[in-house]
């Protein structure tokens, strides 16, 4: 077996902003799946779906081959289409909005809370119209959005809440786990996320009809899969709508199940790293962590700080370059989605969400992954201090 390369292509002392952990149990599980009869659409898919849904407290899981595919399936299942509007926070990964566009619906961007970068329910209220089909609530960085207020705003209006929970498995809102907060909750298993299947994702729901629809959608819109037909001794199937091949192979589900064993521990380790950051950043006046609402627990996919540009002696871009030059893999999550050329070309313009646009200029994502040590965090803090020297 080849040696594993934990540092990737980076120099020895480079601290990336995120890093997966692949252990012997993961490798064993993948090899077993590779040597089995089923590389895809086999028994491990359902096993992984059940195990991840159970972890999050949801009734059903639909495994797909990316978080983006989960969002796309969710948009189809809630019936977003041409003429419909889908409210999405301005600060998120583009996929949160793109999923609505795939289905011909129109994303409507809501501004964010300045101190958390979560979708601001007060701004959402003003954007709801008779055309609103869904709200995509993004659990930015790993902190859940304000679902109770969003529910209140959508009550009796037939508006669905889709949780983009890609950052937040293991977090809670008012004591309820992420995965139970939206009508559908979408997760990503990309390597920088909490657990990885290389690429992969899952949509969770308590509604069996939504689950059945998403299961069909991930399989070309066909009403049965290969294993079911084999069990029933039939060749016949019907394609009842236009779907996609969004299936997650068994080999990747095997990896996901092995990773899931360590998810609770990893969430705790991420919280410990966040505690270390809080201590280490205390007293660095030009660096402000984002706020954590008291009714929530955080899963810390990202550790995001705001730079006070009046106190730092450099811009965010210079701060980013300084950190990278000193071996700290800082990053920025995210530019307001509508400022990307694709959206500008479709009529969205600067000025739409002023808080998002302003705070975007100040944010930096610091390294955050379970294996980080207190010394790593102190090293990041030391370099951040230099930004005001």
Ligand X SMILES: Cc1ncc(COP(=O)(O)O)c(C=O)c1O
Catalytic amino acids?
A: 193
Binding of ligand X at residue 197 (CB under 6 A)? no
Q: Which is nearer to ligand X, 93 or 369 (CB)?
A: 93
Position 297 contacts ligand X (CB under 6 A): no
- In the complex, what is the shortest distance from the CB of residue 314 to ligand X, in angstroms, rounded to a whole number? 27
Name the residue nearer to ligand X (CB basis): 108 or 387.
Answer: 108
- Out of 66, 143, 219, 297, the only residue in the binding site for ligand X (CB under 6 A) is 66
Q: Tell me if 188 contacts ligand X by CB under 6 A.
A: yes
Q: Which one of residues 26, 85, 164, 362 is an interface residue with ligand X (CB under 6 A)?
A: 164
Q: Which of 95, 117, 202, 339 binds ligand X (CB under 6 A)?
A: 95
Task: Identify whether the C-beta of residue 62 lies closer than 8 Å to the C-beta of residue 186.
Answer: no
> Which residue number places its CB atom closest to ligand X?
67
116 in contact with ligand X (CB under 6 A): no
Q: Does 259 bind ligand X (CB under 6 A)?
A: no
Q: What letters, b where the CB count within 10 A reaches 16 and e where it falls short, cover 234-270? A: eeeeeeeeebbebbbbbbbbbbbbbbbebbeebbebb
As a whole number of angstroms, the distance between CA 86 and CA 353 comes to 16
The nearest distance, CB 240 to ligand X, in angstroms, is: 26
Decide: is 119 part of the binding site for ligand X (CB under 6 A).
no
DSSP symbols for 130-199: TTEEEEEEE-GGG----HHHHHHHHTTTT-EEEEE-TT-TT-EETTEETTSSSSEEEEE--TTSSS--SS
Q: Is there a contact between 163 and 184 (Cβ–Cβ < 8 Å)?
A: yes
Is 177 among the residues that bind ligand X (CB under 6 A)?
A: no
138 near ligand X, rule: CB under 6 A? yes
Establish if 167 lies at the interface with ligand X (CB under 6 A): yes
Segment near ligand X (CB under 6 A); pick from 10-18, 164-172, 241-249, 336-344? 164-172
Residue 367 vs 383, nearer CB to ligand X: 367
Choices 6-14, 159-167, 203-211, 358-366; region in contact with ligand X by CB under 6 A: 159-167
Distance CA 66, CA 11 (A): 29
Least distance (Å) between residue 13 CB and ligand X: 26
Order of strands across the sheet with 201-205?
Answer: 60-64, 201-205, 184-188, 160-164, 132-138, 85-89, 106-110
196 binds ligand X (CB under 6 A): no
201 makes contact with ligand X (CB under 6 A): yes
Phi, psi at 380, each rounded to 5°: -60, -45
Exposure string (b/e) for 99-129, b if CB count within 10 Å is 16 or more?
bbbbbebbbbbbbbbeebbbbbbebbeeebe
| 3-class secondary structure per residue, 60-109 | EEEEECCHHHHHHHHHHHHCCCCCCEEEEECCCCCHHHHHHHHCCCEEEE
Which H helix or E strand runs over 217?
Answer: helix 208-217
Q: Which is nearer to ligand X, 129 or 245 (CB)?
A: 245
3-class DSSP assignment, residue 281: helix
Q: How far is the CB of 365 from ligand X (least distance, A)?
A: 11
Q: How far is the CB of 195 from ligand X (least distance, A)?
A: 12
Tokens of 217: 């959608």
Question: Nearest approach, Cβ of 99 to ligand X (angstroms)?
Answer: 8
Between 255 and 381, CB nearer to ligand X: 255
Q: How open is the CA angle 66-237-184, to the nearest 5 degrees?
A: 35
- Residue 96 as a binder of ligand X (CB under 6 A): the answer is yes
| Residue 305 sits in the site that holds ligand X (CB under 6 A) | no
Q: Does residue 89 touch ligand X according to CB under 6 A? A: no
**From 93-101, 126-134, 225-233, 345-353, span contacting ligand X (CB under 6 A):** 93-101
Residues forming contacts to ligand X in the complex (CB under 6 A) are 66-68, 92-93, 95-96, 138, 164, 166-167, 188, 190, 201
């Amino acid at each position: 077996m080849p040696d594993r390369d934990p540092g990737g292509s980076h120099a020895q002392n480079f601290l990336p902003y995120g890093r997966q952990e692949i252990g012997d149990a993961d490798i064993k599980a993948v090899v077993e799946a590779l040597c089995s009869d089923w590389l895809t659409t086999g028994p491990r898919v359902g096993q992984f779906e059940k195990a991840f849904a159970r972890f999050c407290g949801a009734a059903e899981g639909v495994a797909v081959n990316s978080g983006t595919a989960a969002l796309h399936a969710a948009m189809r299942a809630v019936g977003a289409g041409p003429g419909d509007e889908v409210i999405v926070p301005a600060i998120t990964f583009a996929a949160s909005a793109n999923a609505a566009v795939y289905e011909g619906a129109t994303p409507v961007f809501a501004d964010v809370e300045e101190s958390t970068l979560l979708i601001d329910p007060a701004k959402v209220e003003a954007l709801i119209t008779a055309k609103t089909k869904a709200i995509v609530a993004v659990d930015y960085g790993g902190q859940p959005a304000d679902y109770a207020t969003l529910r209140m705003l959508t009550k009796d209006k037939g508006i669905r809440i889709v949780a983009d929970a890609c950052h937040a498995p293991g977090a809670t809102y008012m004591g309820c786990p992420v995965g139970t907060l939206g009508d559908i909750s979408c997760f990503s298993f990309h390597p920088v996320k909490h657990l990885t299947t290389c690429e992969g994702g899952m949509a969770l729901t308590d509604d069996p009809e939504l689950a059945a629809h998403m299961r069909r959608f991930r399989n070309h819109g066909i009403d049965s899969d290969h294993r079911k037909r084999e069990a029933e001794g039939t060749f016949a199937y019907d394609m009842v709508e236009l779907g996609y091949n969004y299936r997650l192979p068994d080999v990747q589900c095997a990896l996901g199940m092995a990773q899931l064993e360590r998810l609770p521990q990893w969430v705790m380790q991420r919280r410990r790293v966040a505690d270390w950051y809080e201590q280490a950043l205390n007293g660095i006046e030009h660096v402000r962590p984002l706020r954590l609402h008291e009714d929530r627990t955080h899963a810390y996919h990202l550790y995001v700080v705001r730079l006070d540009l009046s106190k730092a002696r450099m811009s965010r871009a210079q701060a980013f370059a300084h950190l990278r030059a000193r071996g700290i893999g800082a990053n920025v999550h995210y530019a307001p989605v509508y400022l990307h050329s694709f959206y500008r070309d479709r009529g969205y313009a600067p000025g739409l969400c002023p808080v998002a646009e302003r705070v975007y200029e100040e944010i930096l994502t610091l390294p955050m992954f379970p294996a980080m040590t207190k010394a790593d965090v102190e090293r990041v803090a030391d370099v951040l201090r230099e930004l005001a020297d």
